[in-house]
A = this chain, B = another copy of it.
Amino acid sequence: MTMIKDSVHDYIELGPTAEALLDTAAMQRLRSIRQLSTVQLVYPSANHTRFEHSLGVYHLASRAVDRLELEADLAERLRAAALVHDVGHGPFGHQTEAAIERHLGRHHDEIEWFLTDSDLGDALEEQGLDPEAVAATVDGRGPFGELVSGPLDVDRLDYLVRDAHHTGVPYGTIDHARLLYSLQTVDGTLALEADDVATAESALIARTLMNATVYRHHVSRIAGAMLDRASERLLADGAIDAERFARLTDAELLATLEDHAPTAEFSTRLRERRLYKRAVWTRRDDVPDRFAGLEYERTRDLEREIADVAGVDPAAVIVDSPSEPSSPESRARIVVDGELRRLEERSSLVAGLDACAAEIWRLGVYARPDDLEAVREAASSVLAVEADVVP
């Protein structure tokens, strides 16, 4: 057993399989991908990486499989899946996943391709693990796959706490020790004791408050939108192969953007934190339905239209009309009198939290500071919104 010191879980014990898996370029790369990508532009302490998060998820999975007394092979697979679950992430994690999906047609949770084409796949096989089965587990399929990807998976139990710890906001402090103790299986399905509804609710609440103060902070959203547009341009221009793109680190993406003239400005702006500003920032109620939760192509058309009206460079207008925040935690299962229920059926909080999530939705239009007034006016007429920045 090797012990690793972690700022969230104190000591993490690594078995020989975990050590072998960590000893791959694929896993070591995660040291260079920040867990919260651009959030550090708002919360300067948020520099934790997908590497330490992966160790944390492994730790929680280890404790869960011990707790559930799973048999050795299954336990080994679940621990391995927990450890490698993030290897499919591109540079800046979620901020480039849409670009990668558009160009490669796959999501970061689908890592089968990765396990068959990296030193990590070999390492899994050497440890007697089937890469396909591990990939399925990462995707939430197969026995106890929901432990790694499900409503109350060990991934979110780690990141809600870790993200709160590193941003310094107190909201994410879930009682994960109690959630793990409360875990049980009913007919092969993971569930929590009815007694522990309050503990499960605390995970939903942490999610809701983290959305409001961290995950959906406008500075991070602006930086993320800039990264998406720059990445799209890079890929559309063929300046980099999409497979290669998907394996870059954060810094490598910035360097690649720098080297390609049409995207160089984005890289400099992100590095020097000279971001686009909000020309429009409007609540859901004030946005016509046809402009809420837009498809990508439609978004780009609107950007061009606004740029045209405003008389500015089309690359310099970003429309950001996100889908509504979801709370998968509300589908966690609760055992009530021996029967399984969804948390949302048992908890009056869930509806309130959903409403909360809707309240923090904003339509954003972002532009260079110099273009701000022109873009605001143009966006107002094109999108038929009060061009305003509301709190």
- Encode A62-88 as 1/0 by CB contact (under 8 A) with B: 000000000000000000000000000
Contact string against B for A residues 354-367, beta-carbon threshold 8 Å, 1 for contact and 0 otherwise: 01101110000000
When distances are taken between beta carbons in the complex, the residues of chain B under 8 Å from A3 are 178, 181
Q: Does A32 contact B (CB under 8 A)?
A: yes
Question: With a CB–CB cut-off of 8 A, which chain B residues contact A199?
Answer: 213
Residues of B within 8 A of A165 (CB): 7
- The reply to whether the CB of A313 lies closer than 8 angstroms to some CB of chain B is no
Counting CB contacts under 8 A, is A5 at the interface?
yes
Answer whether A350 and B352 are a contact pair too, CB < 8 Å, given A168-B7, A252-B255.
yes
A320 CB–B CB distance under 8 Å: no
Instruction: Give the chain B neighbours of A8 by CB distance below 8 A.
Output: 45
Please report which residues of chain A, range 1-51, place their CB below 8 angstroms from some CB of chain B when the two chains form the complex.
Answer: 3-8, 10-11, 23-25, 28-29, 31-32, 34, 40, 43-45, 47-49, 51
Identical chains in the assembly: 4
Instruction: Name, among A170, A249, A347, the residue most crowded by chain B CB atoms within 10 Å (CB to CB).
Output: A170
- Is A175 on the interface with B (CB-CB < 8 A)? yes
Q: CA–CA, A377 to B170, complex, Å?
A: 46
CB of A324 within 8 Å of the partner chain: no
User: Given A11-B181, A349-B353, A47 and B48 touching (CB < 8 A)?
Assistant: yes
Bound CA span A5–B45, Å = 8
User: Does A298 sit at the interface, judged by CB under 8 A?
Assistant: no
Which of A40, A47, A213 has the most C-beta atoms of chain B within 10 angstroms of its own C-beta? A47
A106 interface residue, CB < 8 Å from B?
no
Q: A175-B169, A198-B209, A205-B205 are in contact. Are A45 and B11 (CB under 8 A)?
A: no
Between A and B, 16 residue pairs with Cβ closer than 8 Å are A3-B181, A4-B44, A5-B45, A28-B273, A29-B271, A31-B40, A44-B55, A47-B47, A170-B174, A170-B175, A197-B212, A198-B209, A199-B213, A201-B356, A347-B359, A349-B355
Collect the chain B residues with CB atoms within 8 Å of residue A249's CB.
251
Whether A241 is near chain B, meaning CB under 8 Å from some CB there, is: no
| A-to-B contact residues, CB < 8 Å | 3-8, 10-11, 23-25, 28-29, 31-32, 34, 40, 43-45, 47-49, 51-52, 55, 165-171, 173-175, 177-178, 181, 193-195, 197-199, 201-202, 205, 208-209, 212-213, 249-252, 255, 271-273, 336, 347-353, 355-356, 358-360, 391
| Further 5 A-B residue pairs, CB within 8 A, beyond A7-B165, A201-B356 | A28-B272, A31-B40, A205-B205, A347-B359, A351-B352
Which residue of B44, B51, B197 contacts A6 across the interface (Cβ within 8 Å)?
A: B44
Contacts A28-B273, A251-B249; is A5 near B348 (CB within 8 Å)? no
CB–CB A209/B213 < 8 A:
no
When chains A and B are docked, how far (Å) is the Cα of A197 from the Cα of B391? 10
Residues of B within 8 A of A352 (CB): 348-353, 355-356
**Contact in complex: A212, B198 (CB < 8 Å):** yes
| Cα–Cα distance between A197 and B213 once the two chains are bound (Å) | 10
The distance in angstroms between the C-alpha atoms of A255 and B351, with both chains bound, is 49
